[in-house]
Amino acid sequence: MPRPRTHDPGAALDAAESLAVRGGPAAVTIRAVAAATGMSNGALYHTFGSRSGVLGHAWLRAARRFHAVQNELVDARSDVEDSAAEAIVAAAEAPSVFAERFPDSSRLLLTVSREQLLGADLPDDVAADVRTAERALIDLMARLAQRQWGRRDRRAVEVLTTCLVDLPTAILIRRDRIAEPLAREQLRAAVRAVLAVGPPP
């Protein structure tokens, strides 16, 4: 029988998240996570495989939290007037809502890019999960395009990419305005303007 866990792996992910956002990815070491959690080095290696495995699992947890928040915001707009467009506007605001609820998870995703993570020596299963994490956003964009315009082709999804990736990055993230109400108002206006134009035929 496997030995029972004496420590919560979630605490290790919390520690890795905190270390990464305060000191960069290099600050996430087995020794540092062990010191922060009281777990032994051996227990961390057994659970996560390597220091890259700890960071990869923390990043994946943050990505899954983000997608859950974004889908929750979309689903909450299912009964409002012009629900398809308003669901897209809500999805665009997800970075701000996510940062309010999970500040360290938000900072982790902004600190460590998917490309950086894949450049590390990740365990194969974690690397595969990181590569497929982007699929959740693509699936959401296709679903929203279908709801808004009755189509999910490449051009329709490109418009949603503008709304859910390009505009939030430009208005909220690059200028460090993720918590500013005015920035969120500008984002909503910009997304609605793009939706009003829509995709080409």
Q: What is the SS3 assignment for 56-100?
A: HHHHHHHHHHHHHHHHHHHHCCCCCCCHHHHHHHHHHCHHHHHHH
Instruction: Give the burial class of 129: count Cβ atoms within 10 A of its Cβ; 0-12 exposed, 13-18 middle, 19 or more buried.
Output: middle
The reported pLDDT for the residue numbered 4 is 43
Task: Give dist(CA 27, CA 182) in Å, integer.
Answer: 34
pLDDT tens across 61-120, in order? 999 999 999 999 999 987 777 899 999 999 999 999 999 999 999 999 998 888 888 777
pTM for the model: 0.89
The reported pLDDT for the residue numbered 6 is 54
Could you tell me what percent of the chain has a pLDDT over 90? 74
The reported pLDDT for the residue numbered 3 is 47
Mean pLDDT, the chain, as a whole number? 91
Q: Is the pLDDT assigned to residue 1 strictly greater than 50? A: no
What is the widest separation between alpha-carbon atoms in the chain?
A: 61
Whole-Å CA distances, 175 to 169, 172, 178, 195: 8, 6, 8, 23
Q: Is the pLDDT assigned to residue 25 strictly greater than 50? A: yes
Please report, to the nearest 10 degrees, the dihedral formed by the alpha carbons of residues 188, 67, 22, 41 taken in order.
180
Residue range 119-148: average pLDDT? 89
Task: Give dist(CA 114, CA 104) in Å, integer.
Answer: 16
